């Protein structure tokens, strides 16, 4: 539950303009690496503070382990994606009756200069 909320907040920050720090890349790979782009401790506000400090630390460690697992899994999935000729990761969003489009995984955009995936 707490990991879901933290991951949702991280994904929101990956998708939108980031008002401070650097944009968090979609292949960040771990919660520790998120600190390279912002003060990741702010995401820990999702964990309630009305428990003992030992219990909070245990809960936070378990939640961060789960976030690390998810971020590593996402980075691995992105790394195995196809790349357009400009080097951007992309995947085909099938759509109905084969009328899909290519989505760039680095920023979710559907548009770029014409390339082998976007024609």
Element (H, E) at 79: helix 53-79
Residue partners of 41: CB distance under 8 A and separation at least 6: none
Angle between helix axes 53-79 and 2-15 (nearest 10 degrees) is 50
Supply the pLDDT for residue 24: 85
Q: In this structure, are residues 31 and 68 in contact, taking their beta carbons and an 8 Å threshold?
A: yes
The domain segmentation of the chain, as residue ranges, is 2-79, 82-119
Separation of alpha carbons 62 and 85, rounded Å: 40
| Residue 65 DSSP SS3 | helix
Q: In this structure, are residues 89 and 82 in contact, taking their beta carbons and an 8 Å threshold?
A: yes
pLDDT at residue 119 is higher than 80? no
How many CA atoms lie within 13 Å of 34's alpha carbon, on the beta-carbon side?
24
> In this predicted model, what pLDDT tens digit does every residue of 32-82 receive, in sequence order?
999 988 889 999 999 998 999 999 999 999 999 999 999 988 877 666 656
What is the pTM for the complete model shown? 0.64
> In this predicted model, what pLDDT tens digit does every residue of 51-65 receive, in sequence order?
999 999 999 999 999
> In this predicted model, what pLDDT tens digit does every residue of 3-30 receive, in sequence order?
999 999 998 888 766 666 677 888 888 9
CA dihedral 83, 11, 39, 6 (to 10 degrees): -140
């Amino acid at each position: 539950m707490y990991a879901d909320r933290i991951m949702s907040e991280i994904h929101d920050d990956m998708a939108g303009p980031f008002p401070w720090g650097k944009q968090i890349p979609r292949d960040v790979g771990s919660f520790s690496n998120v600190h390279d782009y912002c003060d990741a401790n702010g995401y820990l506000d999702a964990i309630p503070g009305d428990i003992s400090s030992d219990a909070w630390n245990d809960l936070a460690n378990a939640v961060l382990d789960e976030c690390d697992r998810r971020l590593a899994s996402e980075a691995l999935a992105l790394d195995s994606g196809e790349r357009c000729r400009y080097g951007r990761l992309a995947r085909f969003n099938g759509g109905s009756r084969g009328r899909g489009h290519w989505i760039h995984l680095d920023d979710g955009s559907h548009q770029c200069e014409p390339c082998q995936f976007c024609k």
